[in-house]
Amino acid sequence: MDIRLDSVTKSVGNSMVEEYQKREWTGQEAVRYEAALEAINGAVGAYSALIAREEAKPEPDPAVIAEAEQGRSECAKHRKQLDPADAEQVAHTRSRFSQLAREIRERSR
């Protein structure tokens, strides 16, 4: 079943919006793409939590904060570059960023 998934356009960069609004999506493609975006967002959230924990310390480490902020920026960059038509990239992104989020959470315990 093919569907038109205009809501996905809210998650991609403005330069890509028109292209993806016109694209016909299968339900499976849409779910995989959304799962990849959620994995990226999970990593962003883990970085944000790490930053908040570090900033709450009596003597926060500026290097830890800077590294986490850079990581968040890289996540945002990757999210904008993610091509929902590239199934391999979508699958790799989901795996990579799910693992990254786990690693960040483990590191900040």
Q: Mean pLDDT for the chain?
A: 85
Q: How many whole angstroms separate alpha carbon 34 and alpha carbon 97?
A: 13
Short-list 61, 88, 90, 93, CA closest to 75: 93
Q: Is the distance from CB of 54 to CB of 32 less than 8 angstroms?
A: no
pLDDT tens digits for 55-96? 999 999 999 999 999 999 999 999 999 998 899 999 999 999
Q: Which amino acid is it at 77? A: K
Question: What pLDDT score was predicted for residue 38?
Answer: 97
Half-sphere exposure of 30 (CA within 13 A, CB side): 16
Amino acid identity for residue 42 in this structure: G
